[in-house]
């Protein structure tokens, strides 16, 4: 059975899902956020999803929202069987969810009901979760509350960052969507599994202010933040009187008895900073106006730290 699919998404995370949905020529239109100012010149820039859609010759629509009857009528005229929504950036009202014949599917980057909301990838890392994954969900009016249709899990490794996990989950999202679409084409619906009431957590949107590290916190907590906030907004902290951004760090179980923020050691392996519990070894840092560099290279510019 051929499907008429409307795809709605905006950032790079959604592009593999668009490719999966459009693989058989079933996507009849793509919705994405209006072009936003970007770069140093602050010129309007197309979203990654728009770029991909135009490259495929797909019609693109960019309403600010669906509050107007005209926007909803435009969608209705496309006669969609299914609307696939991936990181679109708009909460869809019930009047929109009801338009596609089979409703709306959402690909969400967590194992629901854990980490509903805007930043599930970063919050899973920040919390020190051992695994995460993606869910294909039947959308309803609540925030990521709909029943789960399919899911795929992946372990979170010690080397994972917000960037690496984003990229892996993006591909897993395309995989789980493709599995769901195969079932629909075969005339079958994925099994609807209501989310349990237990285990609900919310992944609140990232705020740049969160990136400022407080040395009085446990080292393991700070290490998780460094990983979660790479590549954005990037953790930052005071290092011996200089504000630096921290791109990579590791927690050490080190009983030091020194005030938080004290440089305990500095050498080829990194710069060890006293924390409220343990120590944080800075492995890659960035000075203001500079580029990320290994801690050993940073020490070449601040050799006095080696004698700490």
CATH at 182: 3.40.50.170
pLDDT at 307: 62
Query: Residues 233, 298: one domain?
Result: yes
Q: Are 239 and 282 in contact (CB under 8 A)?
A: yes
d(CA 279, CA 271): 10
* Domain closes at, from 154, 173, 203: 203
Last residue of a domain, one of 187, 203, 219: 203
- For the stretch 267-305, pLDDT in tens is 999 999 999 999 999 999 999 999 999 999 999 989 888
Query: What was the pLDDT predicted at 164?
Result: 98
Position 131 scores a pLDDT of 98
pLDDT confidence tier of residue 80, bands split at 50, 70 and 90: very high
Is 190 among the annotated ligand-binding positions? no
228 in the same domain as 190: no
Please state the pTM of the whole predicted model. Answer: 0.94
166 plus 215 within the same structural domain: no
Domain range for 115 is 5-203
Can you tell me the distance from the alpha carbon of 65 to that of 68, in angstroms, rounded to the nearest whole number? 8
Same domain for 167 and 213, yes or no, is no
Domain co-membership, 161 together with 264: no
* Cβ atoms of 2 and 26 closer than 8 Å: yes
* Same domain for 212 and 191: no
Instruction: State how far the Cα of 296 lies from the Cα of 51, in Å rounded to an integer.
Output: 40
Identify the domain boundary among 203, 231, 251: 203
112 is in an annotated binding site: yes
Q: Answer yes or no: do 244 and 295 share one domain.
A: yes
Residue 136 has pLDDT above 90, yes or no: yes
- 126 and 269 both lie in a single domain: no
Strands 27-31, 148-155: parallel, antiparallel or unpaired by DSSP? Answer: unpaired
Instruction: Give Cα 47 distance to the centre of its chain.
Output: 16
| pLDDT > 90: percent of the chain | 90
d(CA 181, CA 305): 57
Sign of CA dihedral 72, 74, 79, 80: negative
Q: Is the pLDDT of residue 41 over 80?
A: no
- Give the total residue count for the chain: 308
- pLDDT bin (cut points 50, 70, 90) of residue 56 is very high
- Mean residue pLDDT of the chain comes to 95
Are 190 and 183 contacting, i.e. CB atoms less than 8 angstroms apart?
Answer: yes
pLDDT at residue 142, as a whole number: 87
Look at residue 262 and tell me whether its pLDDT is greater than 90. Answer: yes
Residues 161 and 226 in one domain: no
**How many structural domains are present in the chain?**
2
Beta-carbon count within 10 A of 39 CB? 7
Going by C-alpha positions, the residue among 59, 61, 66 that lies closest to residue 28 is: 59
Residue 113, annotated ligand binder?
yes
Tell me the helix, strand and coil percentages in the chain, rounded to 5. Answer: 30, 30, 40
Is pLDDT above 70 for 308? no
Residue 67 tokens read as: 């509050």
Q: pLDDT (tens digit, 9 = 90+) per residue, 173-199? A: 999 999 999 999 999 989 999 999 999
Position 213 pLDDT exceeds 90? yes
Looking at the structure, tell me whether residues 53 and 181 fall in a common domain: yes
Structure tokens at 45: 């820039």
Residue 249 and residue 225 in one domain:
yes
CB atoms within 10 A of CB 62: 14
Q: Looking at the structure, tell me whether residues 194 and 216 fall in a common domain.
A: no
The Cα–Cα gap between 4 and 194 comes to 26
**Residue of 4, 23, 1, 280 lying closest to 175 (CA atoms):** 23
**Is 111 marked as binding a ligand?**
yes
Q: Residue 17: is its pLDDT beyond 90?
A: yes
Find the CATH number of the domain harbouring 227. Answer: 3.10.25.10
């Amino acid at each position: 059975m051929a499907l008429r699919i409307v795809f709605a998404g905006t950032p790079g995370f959604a592009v593999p899902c668009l490719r999966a949905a459009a693989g058989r020529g079933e996507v009849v239109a793509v919705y994405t956020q209006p072009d936003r100012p970007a770069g140093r010149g602050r010129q309007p820039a197309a979203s990654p999803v728009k770029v991909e859609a135009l490259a495929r010759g797909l019609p693109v629509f960019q309403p600010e929202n669906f509050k107007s009857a005209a926007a909803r009528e435009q969608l209705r005229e496309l006669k969609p069987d299914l609307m696939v929504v991936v990181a679109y950036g708009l909460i869809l009202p019930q009047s929109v969810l009801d338009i596609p014949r089979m409703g709306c599917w959402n690909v969400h980057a967590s194992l629901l009901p854990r980490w509903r909301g805007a930043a599930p990838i970063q919050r899973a890392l920040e919390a020190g979760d051992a695994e995460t994954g993606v869910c294909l969900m039947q959308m309803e009016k609540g925030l990521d509350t709909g029943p789960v249709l399919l899911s795929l899990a992946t372990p979170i490794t010690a080397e994972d960052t917000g960037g690496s996990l984003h990229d892996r989950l993006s591909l897993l999202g395309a995989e789980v969507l493709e599995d769901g679409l195969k079932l629909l084409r075969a005339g079958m619906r994925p099994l609807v599994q209501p989310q349990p009431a237990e285990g609900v957590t919310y992944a609140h949107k990232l705020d740049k202010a969160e990136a400022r590290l407080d040395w009085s916190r446990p080292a393991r907590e700070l290490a998780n933040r460094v990983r979660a906030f790479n590549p954005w907004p990037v953790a930052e902290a005071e290092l011996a009187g200089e504000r630096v951004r921290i791109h990579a760090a590791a927690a050490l179980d080190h009983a030091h008895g020194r005030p938080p923020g004290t440089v305990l050691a500095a050498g080829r392996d990194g710069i060890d900073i006293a924390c409220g519990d343990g120590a944080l070894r800075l492995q890659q840092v960035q000075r203001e106006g500079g580029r990320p560099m290994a801690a050993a290279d940073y020490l070449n510019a601040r050799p006095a730290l080696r004698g700490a």
